[in-house]
Structure 1
């Protein structure tokens, strides 16, 4: 087919969207996230004010859906949420997609009370599971879509679901707003990892909800990111289970911010395991931060640092001891590994 141009006769009433946003951000955002971001651009361009409730009414979403979308874009560094002294959302600063800075602010009426920004990112109370009644459970089970979903879940698990497990699936749909497709993918994903315990499945679901995941495609991309990096580090440090946000942030820091390759990160993990049983992520971070400052780029650089350290140790004058008590005192003061570990973690 022939190619064609797209043009417009009158461009006076337009909303400008960055090409970088279209190329890099649109493909991963869900319907609600896209609508809300474009609407914010529209409101800013017109110089109007709005509120969470207004946006919810505009697109027939819940206020929680709006807040979740705003947090998603804040996490992707396309906007910053601003709060007043009473912790009400008072403004949204839309950041330049390419420069990550802008003075454009959309004024929001402080009608919905929200936690401070840092607490808002880490808070989990919105995802707590309620106590469902038998009537609610029966109503859920009687839906045609639900009956099919429960049947598929039983095939994955390999046995009939208990009432408690059915309530957990109800929680996914009712409170986390997961679609049937996403719940299907969630259970399949966990079972493929050898995890059929619904407590584990629930933790995964809550972590996905906290990341703003609403589609199987988004979940798959999120899972791949963790599979390739975070879980390898977790295993190397002798940890199992679902990584916490703080643990995942450490791995992203080492790989993205410091630019370390996998072999260097795993080398730090191996040294950490040999040195301590506690605070291993923090201990490994102290090692990798030191290597970053010393401009380590390859394992050969680590070897050079080790050789230099060993050379300095051998060249240092050896202390002389008059008696056993002095020797014991020296060993305690100079080689107190517990104190050394605390010192490393405090830096």
Structure 2
């Protein structure tokens, strides 16, 4: 696709231009990235090696969510960490488009997975007698396919619109990554309509699905009155983990996208949260609040130790 751009690369200002601060940022973000990838892949391996867990729709979606978090972090964070070594941080036009596509592809897929997990929770608590017939393996695969497809369609729309914009200079982005609103400020044309399209696409998706999820969990909590004390406590623990992950993911997105582009000084801080901290906290929330996952991790660890002792 041809676009009328004379810009071949963008210069990223990053979070700070202070060399001393950048050294601290390097250590912190490298640590966060290592824990994020390790935590998410540990969940994937643990559940994949536990047939009893993998057979449950909830853990099936949890594996997929952890994979998405790992992919999202891999697409965003390494570039930011490497840039901390350089005084002049650049990214090619093609690299910028790939980063933009990856961010919205994995983010869009995660929105659908979180919705699927909420539906799974609703069926398990509100329709327990029909759970196995409703949440069958075929439906789980269909929902995962919808997540991939939905993420791709959401992302490709953003890319197609962005490719139509002319970038003839300047090329300095006051951010640590390529995102829609920072790019709009650099386009050599009136981007008011495109800004509204971004709000309509990303913003409306965030608000509508977040509202739908809140209603779903509200219905679940209301229905818990009919359950026993033990069942209520277990359901609250499971739903509490889901709600925490949903809030961590959607609140920064709602702050960023459902509004016209403007120069909020803390936009970068919000982006930092959903790019680095959200993928880090998701596995921690699910691990610490889930006895079955912790027990599966202990069994996996014992197997690894046993195999290493035999060798």
Into which bin does the TM-score normalised by the smaller protein fall?
A: under 0.3
- TM-score, length-normalised on structure 2? 0.24
- TM-score, length-normalised on structure 1? 0.23
- Relative CO higher for 1 or 2, CA cutoff 8 Å, sep ≥ 6? 2
Q: Highest CA radius of gyration, 1 or 2?
A: 1
